[in-house]
């Protein structure tokens, strides 16, 4: 079934984008945001299960991926922790990050909790911070943020007949377009250098 010849590591979102284009003629950003994370997982041959488990160990688990040799990668998403759609998308994007970057490491299971998926708490954990950065980049590609951002701002200015769009409105509309949480979008915008201007007096 899975005949994809995968490189052992896909170390960046750009590399993933080239891989999907070359292997499947799939353009990651073809239809603009939101990026289709389920489709990407499917193309990569990752099996994704959203199901409730009554295993005590899993109560605090938000998501999990197993990367056993010669077996399909399996992702489990805890529905109790991912009922908010943007949360689920981020969880799956984070697991795709582990799949792409960490298959060649010795670690075969990554168990994700609120802590591993938290930017500041995962800061010193290399694999977790890499997966978080990968997820942010995959869901909110810089080029797409800039092009869509321009459209969103122009539309707002015309509709409201104003000179500037308040940052809070911008974050909210962008988060909604990209189907990510407002804090995730806010952080990403700062990260790629898009900051609100202070209104001049």
Quick check: 81 binds Zn ion (CB under 5 A)?
no
| 131 in contact with Zn ion (CB under 5 A) | yes
Give the pairing of strands 109-112 and 63-66: antiparallel
Look at the chain and count its residues: 201
Q: For residue 111, which phi and psi values (nearest 5 degrees)?
A: -105, 120
State the residue number with the nearest CB to Zn ion: 112
Name the percent of the chain in helix, strand, coil, to the closest 5.
Answer: 50, 10, 45
110 binds Zn ion (CB under 5 A): yes
Distances (CA, A) of 56 to 60, 61, 111: 9, 10, 14
At closest approach, how far in Å is the CB of 127 from Zn ion? 7
With binding defined as CB under 5 A, does residue 62 bind Zn ion?
no
Q: Count of CB atoms within 10 A of residue 104's CB?
A: 10
Using CB under 5 A, which of the segments 70-78, 115-123, 142-150, 180-188 binds Zn ion? 115-123
Q: How many residues bind Zn ion (CB under 5 A)?
A: 5
C-beta of 29 vs 123, nearer to Zn ion: 123
Of 46-54, 116-124, 169-177, 184-192, which part binds Zn ion (CB under 5 A)? 116-124
Cα separation, 19 vs 28, in Å, equals: 10
Which of 82, 116, 133, 173 touches Zn ion (CB under 5 A)? 116
- How far is 121 from 162, CA to CA, in rounded Å? 40
The span from the CA of 75 to the CA of 41, in Å, is 9
Q: Nearest distance from residue 197's CB to Zn ion, in Å?
A: 36
- Whichever of 116 and 173 has its CB closer to Zn ion, that residue is 116
Q: Measured from the CB of residue 73, what is the shortest distance to Zn ion in angstroms? A: 13
Residue 112 interacts with Zn ion (CB under 5 A): yes or no: yes
Positions in the binding site for Zn ion (CB under 5 A): 110, 112, 116, 128, 131
């Amino acid at each position: 079934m899975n005949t994809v010849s995968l490189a052992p590591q896909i170390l960046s979102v750009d590399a993933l984008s080239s891989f999907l284009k070359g292997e499947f003629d799939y353009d990651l950003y073809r239809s603009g945001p939101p990026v289709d994370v389920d489709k990407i997982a499917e193309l990569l041959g990752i099996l994704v299960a959203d199901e409730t488990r009554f295993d005590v160990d899993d109560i605090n688990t938000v998501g999990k991926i197993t990367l056993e040799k010669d077996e399909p990668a399996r992702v489990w998403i805890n529905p109790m922790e991912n009922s908010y759609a943007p949360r689920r998308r981020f969880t799956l994007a984070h697991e795709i990050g582990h799949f792409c970057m960490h298959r060649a490491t010795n670690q075969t299971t990554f168990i994700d909790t609120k802590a591993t998926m938290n930017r500041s708490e995962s800061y010193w954990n290399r694999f977790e911070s890499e997966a978080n950065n990968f997820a942010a980049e995959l869901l909110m590609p810089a080029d797409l943020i800039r092009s869509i951002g321009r459209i969103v701002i122009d539309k707002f200015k015309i509709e409201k007949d104003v000179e500037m769009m308040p940052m809070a409105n911008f974050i909210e509309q962008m988060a909604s377009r990209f189907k990510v949480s407002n804090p995730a979008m806010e952080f990403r915008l700062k990260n790629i250098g898009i900051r609100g201007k202070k209104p001049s007096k």
